[in-house]
Amino acid sequence: MTASDTRERLLDAAERQFSERGYDGASLREITQAAEANLAAVSYHFGSKEDLFVAVVARRVQPINLERLRLLDQAEARAGERPLEVEAIVEAMIAPVLRSGADGPCVLRMVGRANSESAAPTRRVVEGPMREIRARVRRALRRALPHLNERELSYRMHFTMGVVKSVASDQHLLHAISDGQCDPQDLDGTIAQLVPFLAAGMRAPSVERKRRASARSRRS
């Protein structure tokens, strides 16, 4: 049992507990017990419960964001000088997060739940790296969807990230809603359904332009 072995086991156990019971609901006693470690090990390795939480999230955030950038690079290579495909941009935003839940509890469940429970610690880890992704996604979407203004772009990006979060958090609901026809564990299946849904939403006419268009059609 190496030095960092306990550390890893603590991270794994904490991730599970935090995602299942929320930050406040999870107790260090349960976490250390599940990790077959001592209660004091948390203090030794991480300092505090909050620092443990931050470490748990941080471990997942970087790989996810690297994968997002990789997918965007790949899509850009495919597109050459043309705007990226909306589907490719959407997939780059959502697939890495959803897939990160395949080998365990999804980060988004933890982050989402802790988001306003104790907002400060989470945002520290998540929002910094996310800013870069968001900027790049926004640039790509702006080119791909020139009919949208900045405000609408913001709304639609927000909606998109929102679906992902709730899909990751409430997998059991999907199973219930569909009478078992949809398998929440089948991430690729979910992604295959989600990408066209969101891409179509993204491509929806601008609300302002739509108003003007319908005013025009009434006149004619």
Query: Binding residues for DNA, per CB under 7 A?
Result: 1, 3-7, 26-30, 37-45, 47-50
Looking up tokens 């306003």, which residue turns up? 116
Q: Is 178 in the site for its own copies (CB under 8 A)?
A: yes
Among 11, 14, 25, residue whose Cα is nearest residue 117: 25
Site string for its own copies, 143-162 (x = CB under 8 A): -------xxx-xxxxxx-xx
What is the DSSP-derived secondary structure letter of residue 46? T
Residue 166 interacting partner from DNA, its own copies, none (CB closer than 5 to 8 Å by kind): its own copies
> 198: which residues sit within 8 A by CB, 6+ positions away?
90, 94, 159, 160, 163
Question: In this structure, are residues 112 and 165 in contact, taking their beta carbons and an 8 Å threshold?
Answer: yes
How many CB atoms neighbour CB 48 within 10 A? 12
Q: Is 128 in the site for its own copies (CB under 8 A)?
A: no
Q: Is 84 in the site for its own copies (CB under 8 A)?
A: no
Q: Name the minimum Å distance from CB 105 to DNA.
A: 17
Among 116, 72, 98, 113, residue whose Cα is nearest residue 185: 98
Q: Is 135 in the site for its own copies (CB under 8 A)?
A: no
Looking up tokens 């059991």, which residue turns up? 172
Residue 135 interacting partner from DNA, its own copies, none (CB closer than 5 to 8 Å by kind): none
Q: Name the minimum Å distance from CB 163 to its own copies.
A: 5
User: CA 37, CA 23: separation in Å to the nearest integer?
Assistant: 19
Chain positions contacting its own copies, by CB under 8 A: 20-25, 109, 112-113, 115-118, 127, 134, 150-152, 154-159, 161-163, 165-167, 169-170, 172-174, 176-179, 181-182, 190, 192-194, 196-205, 207, 210
